[in-house]
Amino acid sequence: MILVTGGAGFIGGNFVLDWLADLDNEGIINLDKLTYAGNLETLESLRGDPRHIFVHGDIGDKELVSKLLKEYQPRAIVNFAAESHVDRSIHGPAEFIATNIVGTFNLLESAREYWSGLDDSARRAFRFHHVSTDEVYGSLSAGDPAFTETSTFEPNSPYSASKAASDHLVRAWFHTYGFPVVTTNCSNNYGPYHFPEKLIPLVILNAINRKPLPIYGDGQQIRDWLYVGDHCSAIREVLAKGALGETYNIGGWNEKTNMDVVKTICSILDELKPRSDGKSYSEQITFVKDRPGHDRRYAIDASKVEKKLGWRPAETFDTGIRKTVQWYLDNPNWIDGVVSGAYRDWLSKQYK
């Protein structure tokens, strides 16, 4: 077995589905707190599959995690669980400190205790894979080189500061205790099952619901977009072949301004689901107040993972974004499930 945390969220859910689609892979214990971002409907196709054991719980609950480790004896832990939305971290950082820092600390301690008690060969085989973000490196200016694994940590938001802290804990557990960790720092993901508080799914859903498409500030901020299936394949490679204690940057080689991303979505929708009045969805673009402390540019240099492990993304932005828009058009039931009262409260707080 492997233990996946946060496997009812966007990337964790995609990872669980992709992993179990390969019948040669072992089963998964999926530990998720089911916050607003966790959604069991993402895992609906696994209902009744004995290779998927879902456990509702918190990574910070040492008693529960220790019990799961003892019972299932996983050979690896992949830690996706986190509070992940920058804007929410600005409105209320406490949950980010609790899960991303204290939760990761407790998970590391439970896992270290379990690992210490394994026999020699199981100890050598064990891996703790920490899933992190490029935001720990801070913000780039236009001409700066992309982030490498040796770029300085300069986190700017409560979210990125909490992720940077967790990365430091993971690093220290390797250096101090010899605990077998690998860390991946990835750029912006997009794809199926993405919660519609984030730019790409929010824009797709607002567009088809004839709502404004909110662009923060001047819309010239740059992100490096990676299709979620590619992130999952990178994690599988690093988990299988990554060197202990190392970090690997994962990115799509796809830098885009937010405005370009939104215009691309509008033109795909113009083609796939034209507005009844014949106008373009881009008419719905609206400039709104900027995010406080908004990072200007992220860019990932993913050459280490390519050179050392042979991983490169399979999707370009053009292929990935088209698939993604089509997925949202084809899956109204999943969308109806997540667009709850709590989601509507968030939208009115953020875009009032």
Interface with ligand NAD (CB under 6 A): 5-6, 8-12, 31-35, 37-38, 58-60, 80-82, 84, 99, 103, 131-133, 163, 186, 188-189, 195
CB of 119 to ligand DAU, least distance (A): 37
Q: Which C-beta is closer to ligand DAU: that of 17 or that of 202? A: 202
Q: What, of ligand NAD, ligand DAU, none, does residue 199 touch, CB below 5 to 8 Å by kind?
A: ligand DAU
CB of 305 to ligand DAU, least distance (A): 16
Q: Which of 135, 167, 230, 295 is catalytic?
A: 135
Q: Which of 32, 58, 83, 134 is catalytic?
A: 134
Q: Does 237 bind ligand DAU (CB under 6 A)?
A: no
Task: Please report, in angstroms and rounded to a whole number, the separation of the first and last CA atoms in the chain.
Answer: 46
Q: Does 39 bind ligand DAU (CB under 6 A)?
A: no
Tokens of 214: 């909110």
Q: Among this protein's residues, is 190 annotated catalytic?
A: no
Query: Among the candidate windows 79-87, 97-105, 165-173, 326-334, which touches ligand DAU by CB under 6 A?
Result: 79-87
Contacts of 267 (CB under 8 A, 6+ apart): 280, 282
CB of 124 to ligand NAD, least distance (A): 26
Query: What are phi and psi for residue 213, nearest 5 degrees?
Result: -100, 100
Query: Among the candidate windows 1-9, 38-46, 168-176, 211-219, which touches ligand DAU by CB under 6 A?
Result: 211-219
Q: Among this protein's residues, is 328 annotated catalytic?
A: no
CB of 321 to ligand NAD, least distance (A): 14
**What DSSP line would sit under 273-293, residue for residue?**
S--TTS--GGGGEEEEPPPTT
Separation between Cα atoms, residue 189 and residue 206, nearest integer Å = 19
* Amino acid residing at 79: N
Q: Among this protein's residues, is 22 annotated catalytic?
A: no
Separation between Cα atoms, residue 207 and residue 205, nearest integer Å = 5
Contacts of 300 (CB under 8 A, 6+ apart): 134, 146, 147, 185, 186, 187, 224, 249, 250, 251, 252, 253
Q: What, of ligand NAD, ligand DAU, none, does residue 59 touch, CB below 5 to 8 Å by kind?
A: ligand NAD
Among residues 312, 126, 162, the alpha carbon closest in space to that of 227 is found at 312
Q: Does 135 bind ligand DAU (CB under 6 A)?
A: yes
Contacts of 164 (CB under 8 A, 6+ apart): 136, 153, 155
Catalytic residues: 134-135, 159
Q: Where along the sequence are the contacts to ligand DAU (CB under 6 A)? A: 84-86, 133-135, 187-188, 198-199, 202, 214-216, 221, 223, 258, 291, 298
